[in-house]
Amino acid sequence: PSIKLPVRGEFQLALGLPSATRRDIARFDPDIIHVATPDILGTRAQSFAKALGVPIVASQHTLFETYLDHYGLGWLRPLAEAHLARFYRRSDHVLVPTDALAADMGRLRGDDAVSVWSRGVDRALFNPARRDPAWRRAQGIGDNEIAILFFGRLVREKGVAQFLSVTGRLRRQGLPVRALVVGEGPARGDFGVLADAVMTGHLEGESLARAVASADIFYHPSMTETFGNVVLEAMAAGLPIVAADAPGSRALLDDGDVGRLYPSTDLDAACDAMAAFVTSPALRRAMGDRARERSALYAWDAASAAVERVYQAMQKGRHQRPS
């Protein structure tokens, strides 16, 4: 049972762990309980796991504390950070997506019960070969236009305002850019300031892969992800990247290698990086090729094996404890 969050009604917040669910879990007799979200439900699941004597693995997926500033609630950040610290310290082991976040989590916890759970990408699906000029034309994107991709949920914390600002500035400079917006969400209406933006809505599978590969540059201004899944998918599709210097993006690319990183509040730097790509097909091609090549480092089998190793270690430790 859950309620809709104010402002963000597409999110449901569970208010607890019902007794019927607790009975189901107890009958299932789990060896490990893995909690993925530090909300009320995740916190109650931790408490129940402790009552059952079951090891708790937590995984970090989003920098939730960074959301608050986007909704005028920055004054709540110290409270949110205190809750997150308690949540991750109550877990027996924490999985994070990058080495940098592992170091941060180790300092937060004061121990080494932290390991990296990276991500993978389907390079057969996200592939430069799926670029489709006919599809671009059908969307109204001219052959002489550079399609700048916004890819993800259309919400404020993904950097919508920065994307709109930078794209608008490039157009005022006379550069032939067109926004290609792939995703859906409550901030969809914000893109109305770009009257000719191509809005695909939510896409999946081959339709999604075609849209991504048919862009020319991926601009990722978000600061909230722990790992840039969309960055990795755009890399596999052979796109050069311009991204805010956030932990998720920094883990995937070095500035000047497969794309450009810029200080998150420096829109002049973002515009300069974008303009360099817009005006140089050779630069786009070179960095896009390197992005495709680098994406091969991220295989789902290896990512899943990292979690399996943690599960096995937790089970081994549990069985070795004195009864």
Where along the chain do its domains lie? Answer: 2-120+300-320, 128-295
Mean pLDDT of 111-128: 93
CATH class of 2-120+300-320: alpha beta
**pLDDT on residue 229:** 86
Q: How many CB atoms lie within 10 A of CB 169?
A: 17
Q: pLDDT of 180-198, one tens digit each?
A: 999 998 899 999 999 899 9
Distance of CA 51 to the CA centre of its chain: 33
Contacts of 254 (CB under 8 A, 6+ apart): 261
3's enclosing H/E stretch is strand 2-4
Contacts of 91 (CB under 8 A, 6+ apart): 35, 46, 56, 57, 58
Question: Same CATH fold, 128-295 and 2-120+300-320?
Answer: yes
> Is pLDDT above 50 for 323?
no
- Rounded to whole angstroms, the Cα distance separating 233 from 50 reads 38
The answer to whether the CB of 160 falls within 8 A of the CB of 154 is yes
**pLDDT on residue 299:** 86
The CATH topology of domain 128-295 is Rossmann fold (3.40.50)
**pLDDT on residue 254:** 83
Q: pLDDT of 60-101, one tens digit each?
A: 887 665 555 655 666 667 787 888 889 999 999 999 988 888
The reported pTM is 0.78
Q: pLDDT of 254-268, one tens digit each?
A: 888 899 999 988 999
Which of helix, strand or coil describes residue 15? Answer: coil
Helix axes of 281-295 and 267-278: crossing angle, nearest 10 degrees: 100
Distance of CA 130 to the CA centre of its chain: 23
